[in-house]
Amino acid sequence: MEEPDDSACAAACVPAYVTGGASITETKGMHCSAFPKEFCFFCTYERNASATGTESDLYGSLSDMVAHLADMSREPSAIAIHVFDAYETTVRHHIEGSPSWTKKSILRHIMYSGQFSQIVDTSVGHMLNALIARQNDALVDAATNTVIEENRKAFCDTVSTLLKWKAAQKNGLCGKSQGKKKF
Ligand SMILES: [Zn+2]
């Protein structure tokens, strides 16, 4: 049987903003559960409540790092690199079999597990900003130097969506972690 053909969209469509996470064109899915053979530290372990705040709170130190960087609106791919480095240097050798935790697996978890909803929220902002930049490129007809009305409407629509999204973020309606402990 032939592989499902997703080349039609792959050729014709590109994302406005690349999260670096799993693509919906990946036929297996985009959640950790679809990749049982790939090690995911966050899925395999959970926070050790009795170790919270201590040096042995490995899970907490990594998940707090993700939350902290997400609160700073860092890009998902940049957060994954930080997590990868921290896992390699401070966590991996404490884990049975010292499995490697790939950047792809980290991204998949932080983007799609639902554990870090603020990352998804931040990505929506990046996507809208990227859309605005791209739409801006198509606002004026180069030949006639006139505004392309249809594109202008779509552009304004994206701008007002971004403003609404920002207002919702400010009001804490998008799950942005508030009052979370800093480390
Ligand atoms: Zn996971």
pLDDT digits (tens, 9 = 90+) for 104-134: 999 999 998 999 988 888 888 889 999 999 9
Report CA(181)–ligand 1 centroid distance (Å): 23
Report CA(15)–ligand 1 centroid distance (Å): 24
Check residue 174 and give its pLDDT. 52
Report CA(17)–ligand 1 centroid distance (Å): 23
What average pLDDT does the segment 55-84 reach?
91
Is this model's pTM higher than 0.95 or not?
no
Report CA(6)–ligand 1 centroid distance (Å): 25
**Which band of pLDDT confidence, cut at 50, 70 and 90, is reported for residue 176?**
very low
User: Is a pLDDT exceeding 50 seen at residue 162?
Assistant: yes
What average pLDDT does the segment 25-50 reach?
83
Check residue 130 and give its pLDDT. 93
**Which band of pLDDT confidence, cut at 50, 70 and 90, is reported for residue 41?**
very high
Check residue 2 and give its pLDDT. 46
Report CA(154)–ligand 1 centroid distance (Å): 37
User: Is a pLDDT exceeding 60 seen at residue 23?
Assistant: no
Report CA(173)–ligand 1 centroid distance (Å): 25
Report CA(109)–ligand 1 centroid distance (Å): 4
Check residue 8 and give its pLDDT. 52
Report CA(13)–ligand 1 centroid distance (Å): 28
As given in the structure block, the two tokens for residue 53 are: 């705040």
| C-alpha–C-alpha distance, residues 90 and 58, integer Å | 8
The residue among 125, 19, 119, 17 whose CA lies nearest residue 71 is 119
For residues 8 and 115, which has the higher predicted lDDT (pLDDT)? 115
DSSP 137-181: TTSB-TTT--B-HHHHHHHHHHHHHHHHHHHHHHTTTT----SPP
End-to-end CA distance of the chain: 52
The helix (run of H) or strand (run of E) holding residue 119 is helix 117-136
Report CA(40)–ligand 1 centroid distance (Å): 5
Helices 117-136 and 149-170 cross at an angle (nearest 10°) of 160
Report CA(149)–ligand 1 centroid distance (Å): 45
Report CA(107)–ligand 1 centroid distance (Å): 9
Report CA(108)–ligand 1 centroid distance (Å): 7
> Which of 5-9, 70-74, 77-81 shows the highest mean pLDDT?
77-81
Mean pLDDT of the chain: 83
